[in-house]
Structure 1
Amino acid sequence: MSVSNPTLITFVIYIAAMVLIGFMAYRSTNNLSDYILGGRSLGSVVTALSAGASDMSGWLLMGLPGAIYMSGLSESWIAIGLIVGAYLNWLFVAGRLRVQTEHNGDALTLPDYFSSRFEDKSGLLRIISAVVILVFFTIYCASGIVAGARLFESTFGMSYETALWAGAAATIAYTFVGGFLAVSWTDTVQATLMIFALILTPIIVLLATGGVDTTFLAIEAKNPDNFNMLKNTTFIGIISLMGWGLGYFGQPHILARFMAADSVKSIAKARRISMTWMILCLGGTVAVGFFGIAYFSAHPEVAGPVTENHERVFIELAKLLFNPWIAGVLLSAILAAVMSTLSCQLLVCSSALTEDFYKTFLRKTASQVELVWVGRAMVLLVALVAIGLAANPNNRVLGLVSYAWAGFGAAFGPVVLISVIWKGMTRNGALAGILVGAITVIVWKHFELLGLYEIIPGFIFASLAIYVVSKMGAPTAGMVERFDAAEKDYNLNK
């Protein structure tokens, strides 16, 4: 193994704790609603931290610090875009979606919500949206498994094949056993671990490089453009990075946290907690990469691994600057980031297969116990498919994360956002939005038009399609009545 035993012991303790939480959640899982949405019982703290942790995957501690280390502050536009997008999602969607799903058949999944909200008797909305979820999330799950495998491979010197199963096994175990409650409770622990790592590490790096003034001088000496937010950027490039924020409106694993909140009253407090957590984490991530420039400039003899792969900057700083026991805790934060997102994605896929296919089309009379066990079986099925996709690390699965984010953001984002703020939206408008958003992302990505991130045209064209097609028809009286009742409920309780 490439690091000392304390790091391995810390990893084992951490993974064991996550699995234990899964078994604790098992005792509170009695029906499908418990398994998929935790019985809508999440308080504001768990809602906030779970939403944050499910969003921030391994890129938070590997990809983004590496980009900042290589290019300086010009790579931080993506962090600004994500903060703005997340805040607007909490402000406009979170509380309204919580109420709308309850008023529309107590919907447990996004396809379930779309079907009830727009009175889709044909099942077409449910099928198309569930297929979009399964396709994009299976790829997303595979990317998470690859990231976990890379962490185990580089930290413990395992073969890629062994690391693949080691990284995935614990996440599959607690998601399989405990469902949504396990995922949400573990997310809360993982979010705490991530923020601890991202506040402590840049402070210690700053002290190791001689304080703020010395560090900034060293960064400037390396390349003055490291401080230039506009270095090597174009208007389209900045807009593309900021455009990542649009993706929040359509991410099923994040929206599920809003749907699972115990009440609308919890949302405002959860928003404040979540945004504080997110800003601190992203600030810490940028600082790790930025201060890392100064540290490795002063210590070129240990810069080899980072020079070879800049995404290792956090890993190497943790190993070089901390006691092995503390390093183990900090490196566990990377595993936490990977596990928290992967577990949410597995559960959303399981929910789509169980609620939107099995229960709706195959076994309408299935008991709650049967549905919970089908949900668990679907977690295993999706995980095995994802592991199969991840088995060859040369598949470039990680490169598809931005594609999947854009797919969800454009296909679901406008539909979710407009459905909770405009009662004039129709079923055909929703269908048009999903199809136009998804197709635009695929076509735009294929032709790489204008160098613009595909989520931006996808979101714009989907929104226009929803408005134009909805104006060609009219919502039913029942749709308007439920919308008005939910909006009234929201305004009374927010």
Structure 2
Amino acid sequence: MTVSTPMMVTFSIYILGMILIGFIAWRSTKNFDDYILGGRSLGSLVTALSAGASDMSGWLLMGLPGAIFLSGISESWIAIGLTLGAWLNWKIVAGRLRVQTEHHDNALTLPDYFSSRFEDKSKLLRVISALIILVFFTIYCASGIVAGARLFESTFGMDYGTALWVGAVATIIYTFVGGFLAVSWTDTVQASLMIFALILTPVMVIIAVGGLGDSLAVIQAKSVENLDMLKNLNFIAVISLLGWGLGYFGQPHILARFMAADSHHSIHTARRIGMTWMILCLSGAVAVGFFGIAYFQNHPEQAAGVSQNSERVFIELARILFNPWIAGVLLSAILAAVMSTLSCQLLVCSSALTEDLYKNFLRKHASQQELVWVGRAMVLLIAIIAILLASDPNNRVLGLVSYAWAGFGAAFGPVVLFSLLWKRMTRNGALAGMVVGAMTVLVWKQYAWLGLYEIIPGFLFASVVIVLVSLLGREPSTAAQQRFAAAEAEFNTH
């Protein structure tokens, strides 16, 4: 039996398992509400783990360990920023968004919520926010498909074209069939697999090197700068890395998990589970890259793979240190990270096209069954466009992914926060904030002023504009303020 055979078997079992969950979820999908938000039925555990898994893509098991392996512990500032941002998102946004969306015409999507919250009869907010979602997420989906293809290409020696379809088809099937419930249930399994891989792997690396003390000594001997949190970083660089945390307030695929919780009372427990999962996973990813330095310093003859590409550090350590069957399970965690993020992005795009454009502009009285099938058709449409973009992995459009996170964070983040915390916010304030946030990110990225990550000025300028435009305009209607107050009162009940 070759090394690749056990891996092929474990990957196949994993993929078939995810598809099976999709068909089980099909039986629980009765209407469009079920397809898009699972009927708002997610308990604390599924809410927490699906939010975490949909957030952390292949970057968690490849990009972050690779950066740490290459540059040392200083690359962990981004993990600190993400942890702080995620905790604030759970604390400030999650429960309030769950309640406010229900009070505002039972909004199923973020554009739906904006439109109802600000009584936007022109539907301009709905259209602009839906278009922002479609543009950024289609690109995101393409990058996820590329990551999956690269995994199959490197693990099984497939050609890129074949790997592209193998990596994408399973995710498309269970998202198409089961909708939100399938995505959330599979995310829960995938989150469990990711945390298992990221706790077990660094422990085995440390043991292989000879213990924690020996590992640290080897790393320090190679370069004492590997232990320096400020290596090659100035104040602007540290603030930029921490600034990644601001992105959480505006990510539609994460916010959808909060909207789908069975109650805002579930959020408290979900926050504890979600943050524990996230801290353990990020710590494990940092540890894989950090202690991987020690392992490959002691075993230079095995370092060819990571020398060519540092992002392969997790893959190489899994292959070297574990039985092929266990390695197959561990490498499935990378596929889990890719699939969990891709599936929820496909679903958010589908909901934007179906709920916010098709239903509102083409078929206002469409039946629930019709909307479910249109939603499924939109999943296929977005997936095909993403695959076409991904078919050329060097396509320049994929470079836009680096600031799609900033785009969502700056365009939607301040609008979401102010809409949940300030009843005086107006429709024009929301519209101005959304446009200024997105445009600041796009322009700042081109000129790279101060070397500052574009989400920070984008978030700041959008917030200022929201306040100024809202205060200069007429107050929201009495009915809008009463709905806001009623939702806030419900949120504050325990």
Same fold (TM > 0.5):
yes
TM-score, structure 1 normalization: 0.99
Q: CA deviation at 1:448?
A: 1.1
Q: CA deviation at 1:4?
A: 2.2
| Residue pair 1:143, 1:397 contacting (<8 A) in 2 also | no
Distance 1:217 1:354 in 2: 57
Q: 1:353 to 1:2 in 2, by over 3 A?
A: farther
Does 1:300 find its partner at 2:327? no
The AA in structure 1 aligned to 2:460 is I
Matches within 5 A, 1:220-235: 220-235=220-235
Matches within 5 A, 1:366-385: 366-385=366-385
Does 1:279 find its partner at 2:290? no
Q: CA deviation at 1:263?
A: 0.2
Does 1:195 find its partner at 2:162? no
Distance 1:2 1:285 in 2: 28
Give the match for residue 47 of structure 2. 47
Does 1:477 find its partner at 2:478? yes
Matches within 5 A, 1:452-491: 452-473=452-473, 474-491=475-492
Give the match for residue 76 of structure 1. 76
Matches within 5 A, 1:26-105: 26-105=26-105
The AA in structure 2 aligned to 1:41 is S
Distance 1:158 1:114 in 2: 45
Give the match for residue 312 of structure 1. 312
The AA in structure 2 aligned to 1:28 is S
The AA in structure 2 aligned to 1:458 is G
Give the match for residue 143 of structure 2. 143
| Residue pair 1:148, 1:164 contacting (<8 A) in 2 also | yes
Q: CA deviation at 1:447?
A: 1.1
Distance 2:424 2:155 in 1: 54
Q: CA deviation at 1:398?
A: 5.0
Distance 1:398 1:272 in 2: 34
1:200-253 per-position Cα deviation (integer Å, ceiling 9, x unaligned): 000000000000011001001111100000000011111111000000000000
Structure 1's unaligned 5+ residue stretches are none
Q: CA deviation at 1:475?
A: 1.1
Does 1:447 find its partner at 2:473? no
Give the match for residue 186 of structure 1. 186
Q: 1:274 to 1:241 in 2, by over 3 A?
A: same
Partner SS for 1:393 = coil
Q: CA deviation at 1:401?
A: 2.5
Does 1:109 find its partner at 2:113? no
| Residue pair 1:411, 1:462 contacting (<8 A) in 2 also | yes
Give the match for residue 389 of structure 1. 389
Displaced runs of 4 or more, over 6 A: none
Distance 2:486 2:319 in 1: 56
Identity percentage over the alignment?
76
| Residue pair 1:190, 1:336 contacting (<8 A) in 2 also | yes
Distance 2:413 2:163 in 1: 35
Q: CA deviation at 1:399?
A: 3.6
| Residue pair 1:146, 1:398 contacting (<8 A) in 2 also | no
Distance 1:402 1:354 in 2: 27
Give the match for residue 355 of structure 1. 355
Q: CA deviation at 1:305?
A: 0.8
1:286-323 per-position Cα deviation (integer Å, ceiling 9, x unaligned): 00000000000010001001000000000000000000
1:56-101 per-position Cα deviation (integer Å, ceiling 9, x unaligned): 0000000000000000000000000000000000000000000000
Distance 1:35 1:2 in 2: 42
Distance 2:211 2:400 in 1: 39
Distance 2:336 2:178 in 1: 17
1:341-385 per-position Cα deviation (integer Å, ceiling 9, x unaligned): 000000000000000000000000100000000000000000000
Matches within 5 A, 1:107-256: 107-256=107-256
Distance 2:48 2:154 in 1: 32
Distance 1:2 1:226 in 2: 37
Distance 1:459 1:205 in 2: 40
Q: CA deviation at 1:402?
A: 2.6
| Residue pair 1:3, 1:156 contacting (<8 A) in 2 also | no
Distance 1:283 1:33 in 2: 36
Partner SS for 1:412 = helix
| Residue pair 1:26, 1:177 contacting (<8 A) in 2 also | yes
Q: CA deviation at 1:183?
A: 0.1
Distance 1:8 1:324 in 2: 10
Q: 1:2 to 1:339 in 2, by over 3 A?
A: farther
Distance 2:398 2:121 in 1: 38
| Residue pair 1:219, 1:294 contacting (<8 A) in 2 also | yes
Structure 2's unaligned 5+ residue stretches are none
Q: CA deviation at 1:397?
A: 5.2
TM-score, structure 2 normalization: 0.99
Does 1:428 find its partner at 2:428? yes
The AA in structure 1 aligned to 2:256 is A
Q: CA deviation at 1:396?
A: 5.0
